[in-house]
Each structure stands twice: as C-alpha cells, then as structure tokens.
Amino acid sequence: MSAFSSDGQRCIEQQIECSLSPTPKDNLRNVYQLNRCDEWIKSHKLSKVCLQFPDNLLCDAADVVLNLQQSSGAICYILGDTSYGSCCVDEVSAEHVQADGIIHFGHACLSPTKRLPVLYIFQSKPLDVNKFLEALKTFFKNRNEYLLTIFDVSYAHKIDDVYETLSQQFPNAVSAFPNLNLKHIQEKDQSCLGCHFDLKEGTTLDQYSVLFIGKDGRTYTNYLLELAACKLFRYDPEELESAIHPGDSKISRFLMKRLHLVERVKDAKTLGILVGTLGVHGYLDAVDRIKLLAKKTGKKTYIFAVGRPNVPKLANFPEVDAFVLVACPENSLLDWKDFYQPVVSLYEVEMACNMAREFSPKYVTDFRQLLCDGRDYVQLMESSSNENLDVSLVTGKVRNFVIGSANDKLNDKALAARADLSVCLSTGSEFLTARSWQGLEQNLGQTPVELASQGRSGIASSYHSEPLQKIKNEKELK
C-alpha cells in the first residue's frame, strides 16, 4: 500500500545529492569554464542559451547565469529538474523558450542529439598521473600488454596527460576519447557508449584489457555489459589505496536476472512502450522497432509518455504485461523489483521476439546499436509457418508465436465496434470488460435531472449541518 499512498515520511527521509556550499564567486569562472562558454556562444552567434544543471550544482546556477549573461551578452535560462535524467540533454525544455543552444554542466551520458548545438562542461576531478602509473605497473607486469583506458567524463581533462605518460611505459596502450561532436561514430568497431578509440593496426577489441577510470556506478556497469568479451578493470582515483580492481563478478548474476525478463516478455501479450527520452537521437526509430517486433509475435503495444517512471504511475495500467523503456544507456536498466510489471529494455525484446538473434554474453544497453546501421543489428527472420510452439520457462505452459500474414490480418482488425458501441478485439478493452469494477457509469437518459441545491458548509471535521455543530452554534447565539 505504501506504493500508492504514504504519510510523507518517505519524502522527509529522501536524500538528494546536493552541494551545500556554493562555489566562491571569485573561482566561479574557473570551475565552470565560463571563458570557454563565452567563446562558444560568440562563435555560434547564439542569443538565447539554456544552462542545464544537475541537482548537486543548482546552488551555483543563479551566479553562473548572471556572470555568463554579463560576459557573453546572451539571454540565459536555467534548466533544472529535467523530465527524464540529468545526464541527458533536455532539448524539449530548451525549445519551450526558443533557445539557440544548450550548455550542459556535470555528468553526461554523451548520447547524441540532433536539434540544438550543445556544449559539455564536465566536472573536473583531480587525478594523480604518477600515482596511477605506479598502480598500473604493479598490477600489469607485462609491459607489452594491450591496454585500452576509458575515462569517466569527470576525468576527461586528464586524458592527454595520462596517454603521454602511459605510452612511454606501455607502448600498446590506447586511450578512448568522449565523442563531443554529437554525431554518429563512423567507425562502428571502434566506439562504445559515447567514446571512440583507434586500436593498434591488426588488433581486435577482444585482445585488449580495458581499464575504466572512475567510480563504480551506472557508467562502469554499462561498460561491463557492453565489453563482455574483454577483461575489464577499474581504477578509482578517490580511493585511499588507489588500487586496480578486476571486473565485478556479480555481472553473471545480473545477466541471469535479465534473461528471466526475456522469458517474461515472451509470455507477455501486451507491451507498454515507455518513452524515457525525447532528446536522444533515434528514439522514435526504437519505438518503431518495438512495435514491429511485437506485431511479428502477436503482441499488442501501447505507448506511454510518463516522464520518469515510478511504481504509482505504472500501476495505473494493470492490463500491460511488461513495459519496454526507451532511454539513454545509463537510464535504460531500471531496477524493477518494486514494480508490479517488469520493466525491460529494447535488447530484451530483441532476445524474446527476434528468432534470428542468437544468445550472447554481451548485453547491449545502447538502443541505437540495435537499429538499422547499428553495430548489433540483426534482421528479422521470416518464418514459413504461421505458428511457432514454445514452452515458457516461467509458467511451464506451451505458448505460440503468431508470425507472418496471419498476425498482420489480425492487426488490421484490432479495433471493431459492437452494436452497443463497445470495443472488441483489443487487449485493453478485453481486460476492462473482465474487471468487476470499471469506473463510474454515465447512465445517459436514466438519471433524473435535478436543480442545484446548497451543499454543506464549514470545515470537514464539523460541518454546520451536523448535530454537534448545531448545538454549538445555538449556545453561541444565547
């Protein structure tokens, strides 16, 4: 019951990542790189600019806006409390004020956009290059090891220094650079989650040991899943021991949970498509891909735009068997254990509905790679038979997938009106008719018309018409 209503205690106890001490004003231009922002605004000839801040940087937002407006001459707006995730560029909110560009501060997922020019200003965290190199030499004894270093965006300012020092000790080392031009990477086999890199000639990615520099979080988890064929390690400069840790051994348990979701999608008759982003390039193509996969396997689809999904929002749609979240890589893996229906990603729908896709230990979190021209795109397999029998690993029952023209004919007649104006052959309407309570009935022409009359007056605890209140009023009059 706490999912639907609460006494407010959860809101009181909720902890939000927020900086309590604002940046000193004399250091503001240095921390937020406002000189670089001025040059970018003037070079693009922008008159209206939106500044997007995460929650932990909102304390400096007002000072940054006043400072930047005075130095650049552009009108600046603050974007906070974004509709989906602070790591994604919120182009929709920026278009509400007809902005010419966006400056994104803080952590970013580097998902490509296409509407407005974007400048990324990452938070710069300290990194001791010499200390990092000593830890690397202690862990990797072979100096000819093929190394690929991937940086969290907060350490992107140290990429050149690290590569210059590292290449002297490890000649086969390669560094990944964040893709900041917001365009599709041309080299499919040399890109991953917004970063691109040039491998040594004659080598493949599975020959490299990948070293991620940053915290253990969503970004690191995504690299663990995407680079399953490589040996992945992590180095956190903020840790006291500053040691190199091998890849998380719990990743196999995570994959087992996601494979369970694949079976849930196979059992589902209705899929709800949750639009979790309006800025990532190609999200509409991902929605069309889900609809095509569902149509080929005889499933119904509904599209929902609910902003950030939570339990009360999705609980309003019990007729949906599973939800498919279309979001950036860092927000697509939603912890669904508290939800009443599973929340999956496009990759799980591909595994469940695309018979041509084979099982792989690699888990694709970037939905763009599953679309046409993507690195992990697999064309749908056409089946000669109209039905494929299968056994559910969850329920143990036999299920059948309707494939081909038979399902197309069914979808052409998905909605049909009965004589009583009710709708049939629709999964949502069938679920509604089977419920014991279907909402308030209008009863048109059956309810007599009555004139408006005066209702109750007073406060809810004691209306004036109640007996105790009448006695109290009489005593006051006497």
Please report, for residues 116, 117, 179, 199, the alpha-carbon distance to residue 44 in angstroms, rounded to integers and kept in the order given. 11, 9, 19, 33
Listed ranges 47-51, 121-125, 182-186, 307-311; the one with the highest mean pLDDT: 47-51
Q: What is the mean pLDDT of residues 250-266?
A: 83
**pLDDT for the residue numbered 415:** 53
The Cα–Cα gap between 66 and 204 comes to 49
Q: What is the mean pLDDT of residues 140-161?
A: 90
Confidence band, pLDDT 50/70/90 cuts, at residue 184: very low
Give φ, ψ of 235 to 5 degrees. Answer: -130, 120
Q: Is the pLDDT of residue 176 over 80?
A: yes
Q: Is the pLDDT of residue 18 over 60?
A: no
Q: What is the mean pLDDT of the chain?
A: 81
**Region of poorest pLDDT, from 110-114, 137-141, 438-442:** 438-442
**Region of poorest pLDDT, from 100-114, 281-295, 349-363, 370-384:** 370-384
Written in H, E and C, the secondary structure of the chain is CCCCCCCCHHHHHCCCCCCCCCCCHHHHHHHCCHHHHHHHHHHCCCCEEEEECCHHHHHHHHHHHHHHHHHHCCEEEEECCCCCCCCCCCHHHHHCCCCCEEEEECCCCCCCCCCCCEEEECCCCCCCHHHHHHHHHHHCCCCCCCEEEEECHHHHHHHHHHHHHHHHHCCCEEECEECCCCCCCCCHHHEECCEECCCCCCCCHHHCEEEEECCCCHHHHHHHHHCCCCEEEEECCCCCCCCEEECCCCHHHHHHHHHHHHHHHHHCCEEEEEECCCCCCCHHHHHHHHHHHHHHCCCEEEEECCCCCCHHHHCCCCCCCEEEEECCCCCCCCCCCCCCCCEECHHHHHHHHCCCCCCCCCCCCCHHHHCCCCCCCCCCCCCCCCEEEEECCCCCCEEEEECCHHHHHHHHCCCEECCCCCEECCHHHHHHHCCCCCCCCCCCCCCCCCCCCCCCCEECCEECCCHHHHHHHHHHHC
Q: Are 51 and 80 in contact (CB under 8 A)?
A: no
**pLDDT for the residue numbered 10:** 52
Q: Is the pLDDT of residue 60 over 80?
A: yes
- 443 vs 3, more confident: 443
- If phi over 0 gives left and psi between -120 and 50 gives alpha, with beta otherwise, what is residue 421? left
Q: Is the pLDDT of residue 182 over 60?
A: no
Q: Which two tokens stand for residue 310?
A: 């939570």
pTM of the predicted model, to two decimals?
Answer: 0.78
**Region of poorest pLDDT, from 53-62, 123-132, 368-377, 435-444:** 435-444
Return the percentage of the chain with pLDDT > 90, whole number.
Answer: 26
**pLDDT for the residue numbered 467:** 73
Confidence band, pLDDT 50/70/90 cuts, at residue 230: confident
The Cα–Cα gap between 271 and 279 comes to 23
Q: What is the mean pLDDT of residues 173-178?
A: 88
User: What are the tens digits of pLDDT across the range 104-129?
Assistant: 999 998 888 888 999 999 988 999 99
**pLDDT for the residue numbered 13:** 52
How many beta carbons lie within 10 A of that of residue 24, not counting itself?
11
Q: Name, in order, each residue with C-beta under 8 angstroms of 62's C-beta and a sequence gap of 6 or more.
A: 78
Q: What is the mean pLDDT of residues 246-257?
A: 76
Could you tell me which residues are beta bridge partners of residue 359? Answer: none
Confidence band, pLDDT 50/70/90 cuts, at residue 34: very high
Confidence band, pLDDT 50/70/90 cuts, at residue 81: confident
**Region of poorest pLDDT, from 233-247, 359-373, 462-476:** 462-476
**pLDDT for the residue numbered 321:** 92
Q: What is the mean pLDDT of residues 129-138?
A: 89
User: What are the tens digits of pLDDT across the range 371-428?
Assistant: 988 888 999 876 555 556 677 767 777 676 555 544 444 444 455 445 454 555 556 6
User: What are the tens digits of pLDDT across the range 322-352?
Assistant: 999 999 988 888 877 888 899 999 999 999 9
The Cα–Cα gap between 57 and 45 comes to 26
**Half-sphere exposure for 154 (CA within 13 Å, toward CB):** 15
| CB < 8 Å & 24+ apart, contacts of 105-108 | 105/32, 105/51, 105/52, 105/53, 105/54, 105/57, 105/64, 106/53, 106/54, 106/56, 106/57, 107/54, 107/153, 107/154, 108/153
Q: Are 341 and 314 in contact (CB under 8 A)?
A: yes
Return the percentage of the chain with pLDDT > 70, whole number.
Answer: 81
How many beta carbons lie within 10 A of that of residue 155, not counting itself?
21
**pLDDT for the residue numbered 191:** 79
Q: Are 212 and 220 in contact (CB under 8 A)?
A: yes
Q: Are 332 and 355 in contact (CB under 8 A)?
A: no
Report the relative pairing of strands 195-196 and 191-192 from DSSP bridges. Answer: antiparallel
Q: Which two tokens stand for residue 437?
A: 């309570």
**Which candidate, 377, 368, 366, places its Cα nearest to that of 223?**
366
